[in-house]
Amino acid sequence: MKKILVTGAFGQIGSELVPALQKKFGKDQVVAMGHKTVTSNFDGILEKADTRDKDILASIIKKYDIVDVYHLVSLLSVGGEKDPKVTWDINVGGLKNILELGVEFGLKIFWPSSIAAFGSTTPRDNTPQETILEPTTMYGVTKVTGENLCRYFNIKYGLDVRSVRYPGIISWKTPPSAGTTEYTVAMLYDGVQGKGNTCWLGPDTMLPMMYVNDAIKATIDLMDTPVLKIKLRGSYNLAAVSFTAKQWEEAIRKHIPDLKVSYKPDERQKIADSWPKSIDDSQARADWGWKHEYSLEKMTKEMVENLRKEFSIS
Ligand code: SER
């Protein structure tokens, strides 16, 4: 049975990907690696390490005889602007380490890019797979660099590295993180707890979004796809639904009628305005059969139910 390493295992996506992989392959097959965000009640194999440290990474890969790596560690758009240098070191340095170790140990690697790879010069509606990539955040710069690195390592060394550009991910297990699209999660966290929410984007801001279950499915499906079907070694565009902040508020209000939201766009508005409104992901759908399952209504219902359970609110 193959052993899997997940870096960034306690972040927004890792917190859901690890249990999904444990369920699919068994608890003993999945090594969850975290650094600052490790949770104390984790049930499974745990390693605490920094992906900037290549020697420690190599020793973990050897120790468990790792075959597949899901390299999720990343600072996001808002957190990244606070310290662009550290963002570069973690996002690019960590990825470069993983790719080099991938060549050395013959690993198969998943690494996520993001809609942040696009910028204000990119067409914003139905953004094509091949288009202008001129990001305005350090996070986006590291994603474009990462896409190029992945492609290069595939061309030069034949490394089996696979990638998608995640849209904004909507999830409930971790609190809203330092991203622009996480206004969605923040509105729900506040709404479910009966608190007023101040949305940091304007009501008409439209962004591409995806429920975390769909993101996990895409991630695992891409890794399961036979190698010959993978035609792109940069990152595949990936999409589910697009909606405005106001439409998100209205979808939540169907479940929480007394939801109170006020709109106070801040510096995050500029970031959101540089990203696509919708994405053309037809190549992912054609090459490896990607198909999303969660509509706006379905994800809102599930998010509210899960968060009510989480906060023990009936
Ligand atoms: N959720 C991310 C962010 O907003 C986008 O990849 O930074």
AA identity, residue 248: W
Is the CB of residue 206 below 6 angstroms from any atom belonging to ligand 1? no
In this prediction, residues 39-57 reach a mean pLDDT of 94
Indicate if the pLDDT at residue 40 is higher than 80. no
pLDDT, the chain, mean = 96
For residue 171, report the distance from its CA to the centre of ligand 1, in Å: 12
What residue's CA is closest to ligand 1, atom 5?
A: 168
What is the mean predicted confidence (pLDDT) over 158-184? 95
Amino acid at 47: E
* Ligand 1 atom with minimal separation from the 271 CA: 4
Q: 181: Cβ below 6 Å to ligand 1?
A: yes
Which tens digits make up the pLDDT trace of 198-232?
999 999 999 999 999 999 999 999 999 999 999 99
Tokens of 270: 């500029």
Q: Which residues contact 293 (CB under 8 A, 6 or more apart)?
A: 211, 213, 214, 217
Render the burial of 281-313: b for 16+ CB within 10 Å, e for the rest. Answer: bebbbeebebebebebeebbbbbbeebbeeeee
Is residue 199 classed as helix, strand or coil in its secondary structure? Answer: strand
pLDDT digits 0-9 by tens, 269-292: 999 999 999 999 999 999 999 999
Question: Cβ(179) to ligand 1 under 6 A?
Answer: yes
CA–CA separation, 104 vs 88, rounded Å? 23
114 within ligand 1 shell (Cβ under 6 A): yes
Average of per-residue pLDDT across 9-20: 96
Residue 314 pLDDT more than 80? no
Q: Which of 70, 139, 211, 294 is catalytic?
A: 139
How far is it, in rounded angstroms, from Cα 49 to Cα 203? 40
Angle at 126 between CA 125 and CA 127, to 5 degrees: 90
pLDDT at 66 over 90: yes
- Burial state string for 198-211 with b = 16 or more CB within 10 A and e = fewer than 16: ebbbeeebbbbbbb
Domains and CATH numbers, the chain: 3-168+210-237 (3.40.50.720), 169-208+242-277+294-310 (3.90.25)
Q: How confident is the model at residue 313 (pLDDT cuts 50, 70, 90)?
A: confident
pLDDT, residue 312, reads 87
Q: Which of 10, 4, 16 is nearest to 217 (CA)?
A: 16
> Residues 6 or more apart from 102 whose CB is under 8 A from it?
69, 108, 109, 153, 159, 160, 161
pLDDT-above-70 percentage for the chain: 100
The answer to whether the pTM exceeds 0.85 is: yes
C-alpha–C-alpha distance, residues 185 and 171, integer Å:
7
Instruction: Report how far ligand 1's centroid is from the alpha carbon of 181 (Å).
Output: 5
Confidence of residue 39 (pLDDT cuts 50, 70, 90): confident
